[in-house]
Each structure stands twice: as structure tokens, then as C-alpha cells.
Chains A and B, each alone.
Chain A
Amino acid sequence: MPAPVEPPIETPASLPEAYAVLADSSAEDPVTPIAGGTDVMVRITGEIGEPPRRMVDLSRLRELRGIAVDRGAVVLGALTTYTEIRRSSVCREHLPALVEAAATIGAGQIQNRGTIGGNAANASPAGDTLPVLLALDAAFEVGSNRGQRAITADAFWVAYRRTALAPDELILRIRIPIGSGRETRFRKIGTRRAQAISKVVLALSWVDQDGPPGSGRVAPIAPTGNGPIGTWRDVRLALGSVADRPIRTRATEAVLEAASPTPEIADAAAEALAGEIHPIDDVRSTAEYRRVVAARALHRMIRDAGGW
């Protein structure tokens, strides 16, 4: 059993200092950033994954905190905690699906410590907020001594537990575009109601072409089943725990694009999804269960949206 020995850690007081600590981080000898520690603390015990060799503590980087609205987007500092997301009036108004995802993570103590930047950087295929970030077309602003750049969510998770971040780069902020009548739904299927790792997690997002010009609030299109069923545009469907990374499912999106949430479309989309994803068997679930349950969950989301 590996030694539960705490690796050396530095605690920079500013972003330039943090960049300096990270400057000699490399793939072979990485400096592991720690924020809330949700995942890193487990690695330090040596029981799961490789223990970090050396760490940089981000807790003093005020630049990475805060939630703001800026040029048609909600901007979340990388150190924004799940609790802050849950309590933020901005998030509750514009990003209810993200609020819902944040509320499913861990227990209250973990939500108080865990950060959205950490969830993204940890790159677990089961990360609960990640499909929401994909479905909302978020962009990551990242930085290092070498400067800043933006990476789209779509390009951020590149392989099992690997991101597009260079070894010396930090996530600074996450920009999530808002407005224009976008609707988003979130569903997590876990072992139990709280503190469970997902077996399947889904986020579905669309713009209702015929619906009311919107704030992006979650509201059924035709809650009573009597109203007109709109046509969906710019559909994005993202899933977690069904591949080596959180993924967009483009074939299923194509079925839903320019379509309406009718029973026929729901059947077709569910069938497309079951054919498009290739989950695996592991200690938490089986491939077959994940595939079929993901398809059923999508079907139900479309049904709820269609109000039938």
C-alpha cells in the first residue's frame, strides 16, 4: 500500500507567483494544483490513483474567485465552489441546470470546498458538472507564464483523465454564454440520492425556435400538453460516465435538430443515443445498463419537454 505521505506544497499569493511555481511543471514531473481537494486528497491517501509528487495550493488566488455577468456570458472564477454556484442568484437565474448539477455533488462539506475548476481539471468521465458545461458550450480561459488562451469545452477533455491544459497552465475562468431562449435539462443516475458517483449523467440543451424569447430559465415548453410544441435549434446533448471522457453525442443531436419533442422524435433520439455511446462494464455498473438507461433518461427528458 503506498505511503500516505503529504507531498511538498507551495502556496502562492498571486497569479504570477502561481505561474512561477508551475513553470517547471512537466508531464513527467507535474506540479498538481489543489483547490478544494475533492479528488486530490483522495489521491494523496494512495488508495486511488497516483499520489501527486508536488503541489501548488490555489487557495490564496483571489483573482480566480467570483461570479459575474460579462458580455452575454456568465463568468465563473475557477475557484467558484459548488455551494457558491447553488447560492448565486446569477447562476440560479441563468444556469439552473448547472445549479442542479452542483447540488448533486458529494455532501454539503464537499460542496463547500469543491470547485468547478477542479471538477473540470480532474477530468473524470463521471464529473457531474462537465456534461452541463459541454451542453452550454462553455469556454475555459487558461493561463500560464506564456500568456492566456481560450479552450472550448468541446476541445477541453482529450482522453481518460486528460485535458488540453499544458502542464504549466491553470484554469482561470469559465465563460458560459447565456440568453436567446436556451433551455437546459440535467439528469444524474447514481447509486443513491446523495454522495454517489454517477452511473450515467446527461445534459440536454436547445433553443426553442417558436418559444418565448427567453432568459434561459428552465420551464416546460408546453407544461399542460395543450400549448404548441416548438421546433428545437442548436441542440446539444452531453453525457458523462459513458466514455473515457465527458462527450457530446452528435448523431443524437442531429436527430433532435430542427425537430419537435414528439413521441416519434423521442423514440428516434433514444435509439440513436443507444447506438452512439459505448460505455464499459466496471465496478459501478454494466455497459448494457448504462447504454439503455441513458437512452431512457433522454427519452424522458424529451417527453417532459414536450409535455406529453
Chain B
Amino acid sequence: MTERTGPIATHEEARGDDGTASPKDGHQRPWIRADGQAKATGQARYTADLAFPGLVHARLLLAGRAHARIRHLDTARARAVPGVLAVLTAADVPAGRYGSFDFILDRTLFATDVVRFEGEVVAAVAALTPEIATAAIGAIEVDYEDLPAILDVEAALEPGSPLVHEAIADYGHDPNIEPQGNLASRSTIVKGDAATAMAAAPIVVRERYVADMAHPVPIEPHSVTADWSGDRVTIWSSTQVPFYARTKTAEVLGIPEHRVRVVVSHLGGGFGGKCDFHFEAHVAALARACRRPVRLVLTRREEFIAPDKVTHAMIVDVATGVAEDGTILARTARIVLDSGAYASDTPVLGQIAAMMVAGPYRIPDVEIEALTVYTNRTPSGSVRAPTGPQSCWAVEQHHDVVAARVGLDPVEFRRRNLVRDGDEGPTRQKHEGDGAIQTLELAVERARAGGPLGPNEAIGVASGWWFSAPGPSGAFVRLESDGSGRIVTGAQENGTGAVMGLAILAAEELGMQPEQFAITYQDTDVGPYDGGSSGSQTTFNNGRAVVEAARDVRRQLLELAASTLEANVDDLELADGAVGVKGSPDRRVTIAELASTAHEGALLLARGSGQPPASPEHDASACVGRLGFESFASPTFFCHAARVSIDPATGVARATKVVAATDVGRVINATGAIGQVTGGVVMALGNATLEGTRYGDDGRQRNATLLDYKLLTSADAPDIEVVFVENPASNGGPHGAKGVGEPPIVPTAGAVANAIAAATGARVRRLPMTPERVWRAITAGDDGAGERNGPFGPVREAVAAGSGAAP
């Protein structure tokens, strides 16, 4: 293990973990990412900034109601509005249903007969100005027959409940799941015989935790521009996953993929909300209909209600059997995820939630089931570490409760139960390294170093794990004739710096500096395939591809140099921009010289496809609903310790310090990794204490604006100490790296919750832990889990319209 804390020190040790010589660990120095200056100075262009001659403007007609049958839809008046160029509905595009990753084919591009959530797209308009497009949207006549809004996940599972999808039985779906009624999917994680172990356990603790829906809230809303040239369409889209967006656009429009090009300009944040395929096909269809480039930019309200990517509302019923000495004996749990109106990618996220509720703990017998349930809400999906924060918040509070029940300090309880090197996971995968324990000890030590606690102040801890996501991913590396470098990659930069950091890896292999590389990216016509900015996978997967390509170029350089220097390749070394003969300082040739020679003949050009490592060996034979996360590949382990001060009069819980300790395997880009953890903690604190969607009983969001949906600002951010532990993964990313983008958002809420309970004696079992909820827990002993206010019940409306305290 190497422990590393910011600020970053130069790190001189040799690599050696994969046999590649790397005399200077250059990537540990702070460096300026290639896109940094343009973004910091406002010169960077985002999708909505792009100018096109003849551009016209799109607007969507959204349902505006939770559940209704379309009796009649008439666009004639809208088409007649002067300046309107196209109006499209389901009748104007190929019929047929699709679904995220083909889990359940439950969606159509435009509402067909029934609308199932307020943000469902009913029609789309293209017009000369945004104002005309808006007027035309208002001129579309829709006659709805309202249907009962299904908003309560538990009621939705009752026999005889009205159905979100009447024809669910006819939908195509992944063979590993069985959609039925409002149940979209059921997945289990099973090891041993939990029922018997639980019955034999001397102490059993059962609890319920409930999390409200939340949102990713990227600062840039979804925006898409499409332009056709003959039978080919170019789509500029604010997507995190350009190749996936291309595949789905081609699928729903019924055209081959090579006729669709997806280009991403700079992306203004995503946080998972721009994963998947959203409005690319709508805009492409509009552009084809009016033979002009068409641009769509969502309003902030639309951004809250329309994309099928919100953070899941969840119920976690968890039980733990424990011995008197605090050893965990068994774990059972039932997790219900509100999928919303469509399955999106939620079925696989149910499986992930089950793995998260098991956690990185030694538990001999496990039986966890996760149900994903249709309701008439905005569909949920893979927002940063999907289901992770809610699951970890629930189970880590539960662990503190269990610890108290057996009379153990929460840290000591974790020490006894967290996995160590060689221990088994919930499906018997073998854990590598002691990262779970090391991060616990580090986080606690650093948090306690902050001086004595004041009144109403306490430290809470939460530990957890998160997977790395092996997948196919490609890159090209080439050297230009002057010896400067270029990386051409399919990877998507969503702001994290992961793509910018690829230069570090290439430079390291080639004895160059990261600043000597240009990066060509975010264009499906140019770069090889990549899974996109999702699943913390860019460095993990594309990093391997870049290293592979760079090593090939390195081999080519050494062979060229061997002939130039008349030496044996084995006697050569590549460093500081030149190849030299070991032990003969005067016999050397620069990369620039070799590159200029090369251009007269062979090209210094290579590809890498970073063959994904296999999943760890495991036994999932007793699990159902298996969608690929029966084991966690190269898991990242972490612990956050939060020092929280509570004002009992107002219930305001303010984190004053958060120590985030993470075993990332290997730090590749320290600046980027520290940035990811810092941003993750801030985002997590907002999730923990401020956010959460409020629904009216009409099934419409009540705080779908930034006026009433508040994220944390820097004024509220605590002191954040970032600590890395390095246990390189044997089957991981470059140099043993593991995923770093998602883990930092996972444990913070749990740490804050445990601090609140430690300081006040009151436990809040409802997320977000708003001041009102903390205050009610303190003053009324109400933990919030039964509160009918939020995603599982309506917000109480103002007593009389116009008498409210609204602004």
C-alpha cells in the first residue's frame, strides 16, 4: 500500500508492477489539462453554442400529466402556424419499441396511445424561431382521458393494482428477467442459507430506510443539433455515450449505424444524466422532415422531468443476524427501486443495489432481493454510482445500529467485519488487498485529528465498495513528423479530466510529456468504439487501450532507433524525448528525429483495444435476475468520516470536515482523482441534506426548478481531505488502477447520518436528511421512514392558492 494525500508530492518510485520501466512518475505532478484554459475562460463551445447556417429550432410537447390515454391528437393547427417547418408525432416515425440495453422494450420515441409520466414526449416541432416553436406546441390539440396515477411502489406491487404498462406481457425483454404486472425485474444475490442462519442468530436487527428521488442536475441541459447530408446525419449531442447514442438512433430510425455520426462538443457535466439515448432521434427526424439543421435545448424544468435518468427513490428493508461479539452472521434484505414509467437501465441497477446492501463485509449467509417497479414518475436510471449512495446510506446506518445493539463502537464493529485480503464477497469472489480496513483506519484517524468535538458535534463513518466496469474500448496513438503526439480515442470527456489524462499514460510509455499530446475525441466517425463516460470506466478501459497503443509505438520507435544507432533493441532506453544506448550517453537519437525519418517510410502509428479483463471468479448459481453484476470487478474500497455539527433548534446538520479515503488501486492522474473525490463529496452532501424531489398527488414534480431544488454551493462545502490508498488490482486498469469517478459520492450521506445520530441520539431514516427531518427526529422521535411526503406520497399543498409563502 502507498498512502497519498494532497497536495501532491513528486513521486519518484519506479513502476515495476507490470514490468514497464517508468523512471519518472511524471503524472503525479500537477499539470494543466488540455481543455482547461478554454473552459476556464469561457471560450469552450458547448453543443448549444454551435452555429449553423439555416438553423431552425425544436421544441417538444411533453405530456404534463402522469398517466392518461390519448383519445385524440391533432397537429393541424400547429402545422398552420407561420414559420413552422415540421410537426412530428408517433405517426411520423417508424413504429416499434426499444429499451435501454434491451432490458425491456417498453418505449417508443413519441407517446403511443398512452402517456405514462409528465415528461413523456408527445410531439416535436421545428420552426424558424424558438418563439414560433413554442407557439406551435401550444397549438397542438390533445384530448386526454386521465388514468389513475400509480405513484406508490408498494401499492403498485399489490395484485389488482392498475398497470403502468397494460401490454407488459407482449414486450420483448432480456431472458434473465421476467417482467410481470408493475414488476419490471427481480434480481437476487444469494450465498449459503440466510434463512437458517438468521433463525439461529442470537441477535437480529431489522430496519427500514427510505430514499427520495433526486436528480443529476448537470449545469448544461440536454442539447442536440442534427443536420442531414444526403442519407447521412450528423448529430451534435450533449451525450456521455456517443457510440450508444449512435446505435440507438440508427435502431429507432431504421438506418445503418455508419450513416449516423454523433459528435460531442464540450460537455457541460453529465453525472449520469446524459448516459443513454435521449433526444438525438427526435431531432434527427425533425431535421430530415424540414431539410434544415435543427437544434433542441431543454429548459431547466424539462431537464428535471423529461430525461429518464433520475436518482432512484428506494426502500431498503434490511435485517442482520449478529453474534454477541459483533460478528455478522447473516444478511437478508428486500430493496424496492422506483423505476418510474419505463425500465431504462434500472433492472441492472437493482442487481447493483443488492450487491451494495451486501457491502464489503464478511457475511457467511446472504439473501438479498431487489425489485424494480414501474410507477408514473420520471424514469430513473444510472446517475453517478446508481443506487450506491442510497444503499450505502441505509446499510451503513444499519451497521451503526447493529454495533450499538451489541455494545460495540461503530469503528470497532467495522474492523471486525470488513473484508480483508482473501476474504469472500457475497457471491464468493476473492477480495484483493486490505483496502476496506485501511481506508477505515485512515479516515477515522484523520477526522479525529481535527481537535475535540463541540457540543452537538460528532464524527460519523461509512464504508463501502463500488465496481470497476471492464468493457471494450479503443484508441489510436501516433507521432507527428515533428515528434509531437496525438491520441485518437472513442472515449468521452464529461468534465472529469479522464480523457485529458490519457495523455499522461501515453507520455509515460513514450518518454514524453503529457503536454506534447493532442487528443482527438468525441466523434464516432473518427475514434474507435468506447462505452462512453459511464461506470467510472474511461481511465480503466480506454487507459488500457492507450497504453497498449503507446507501447506499440514505443516498440516501433525502438526498432527504428536500433537501425539508426546500429544497436540491439535490448540495449536501448527511451526517456526524456530520446532513445539512447544504455551506458553510452553520446549515442542517442531524439523522438523528433526518428519521427521525421519515419514519415519517409513507416508511420509511427498504432492501435490499442485494451482487451477487457474477465470478471473475478464467483458463484452466482443461486442468484436470479443476473444481468452482469453478480460480481464486482476490481472493486474500489472506501471510507468517509464526516465531522458534523447539528443545530438542534433548526435541525441544520452542517458537515465541517469530511475525510474521504479511497483505495483506487493506483493513482494515474492525481489532479483529476483529487478533483473527482472533492466534487463527489460536495455532490453527496447535497444529496444527503438538501435535494430530493417533491411530488404532488397528481404525479407531477413540485420542485422541478433550481429555485426550489437546491444543490450545495461552495459556501456550504466543508473542509475536504482526500486520501488515497494504493493496492494495485491484479486484473485492473492501467498500472492496477480502479474506477474513481463514482465511488466518492457513495459513502458521504451514510457518514453524515451516523454523525447526526451520534450527536443527537436521533436517527433519520429518510433521505435527504433535510433540516425539517432532522428536527422532527430530534424533537418528535420521527425517523421519517414512514413519512408520506415525497416520492412515496404527495406533498401537502398550500392551504389556499395565493396564500402561500411562495415568492
Contact = CB atoms under 8 A, between A and B. Distances in A.
Given A244-B803, A280-B804, A193 B772 contact: no
Nearest to B717: A193
Contacts of A286: 772, 796
28 contacts: A1-B299, A4-B130, A4-B134, A45-B299, A124-B806, A124-B807, A125-B806, A126-B805, A127-B807, A160-B802, A189-B650, A192-B716, A193-B715, A196-B710, A241-B805, A280-B803, A281-B796, A282-B805, A283-B702, A283-B708, A283-B795, A284-B708, A286-B796, A289-B651, A292-B779, A296-B650, A297-B650, A299-B649
Given A42-B707, A300-B649, A284 B702 contact: no
A27 to B, nearest CB: 15
B138 A3 contact: yes
B277 interface: no
B502 interface: no
A242 interface: yes
Interface string A168-207: 0000000000000000000001011111110000000000
B627 interface: no
Interface string B762-786: 0000000001100110010000000
Contacts of B776: 289
Interface in B709-748: 710, 712-713, 715-716
Interface of A: 1, 3-5, 39, 42, 45, 47-48, 122, 124-127, 160-161, 189, 191-197, 241-244, 279-286, 289-290, 292-293, 296-297, 299-300
B131 interface: yes
A3 B702 contact: no
Contact of B798 (A193, A194, A282, A293): A282
A308 to B, nearest CB: 16
Contacts of B651: 289
Interface residues of B, number: 41
A191 B805 CA distance: 15
B168 interface: no
Contact of A126 (B138, B779, B807): B807
B694 interface: yes
B798 A280 contact: yes
Interface in B489-510: none
A297 B771 CA distance: 14
B803 A160 contact: yes
A127 to B, nearest CB: 8
Contacts of B62: 1
Contacts of B716: 192-194
A191 B771 CA distance: 8
Most buried by A among B130, B772, B806: B806
Interface of B: 62, 64, 130-131, 134-135, 137-138, 299, 301, 649-651, 690, 694, 702-703, 705, 707-708, 710, 712-713, 715-716, 771-772, 775-776, 779, 795-799, 802-807
A273 to B, nearest CB: 13
Contacts of B705: 47-48
B756 to A, nearest CB: 17
**6 closest pairs, A vs B, by CB?**
A296-B649, A193-B715, A124-B807, A194-B715, A281-B796, A191-B710
Contacts of A292: 775, 779
Contacts of B771: 289
Given A3-B135, A279-B805, A289-B651, 19 more contacts: A1-B137, A5-B134, A39-B807, A47-B299, A47-B301, A126-B807, A160-B802, A160-B804, A192-B713, A242-B805, A280-B804, A282-B806, A283-B694, A285-B772, A286-B772, A289-B771, A289-B775, A293-B649, A299-B649
Contacts of A280: 798-799, 803-805
B796 to A, nearest CB: 4
A242 B803 CA distance: 10
A3 B131 contact: yes
A143 to B, nearest CB: 26
Contacts of B779: 292
Given A189-B650, A283-B795, A284-B708, A3 B805 contact: no
Contacts of B708: 197, 283-284
A264 B135 CA distance: 62
Contacts of B64: 1
Contacts of A241: 805
A281 B798 contact: yes
Contacts of A48: 705, 707, 807
B772 A289 contact: yes
Nearest to B807: A124
A242 B805 CA distance: 7
- From A1, A47, A241, residue with most partner B Cβ within 10 Å: A1
A299 B715 CA distance: 26
A43 to B, nearest CB: 10
B717 to A, nearest CB: 10
Nearest to B59: A1
Nearest to A159: B802
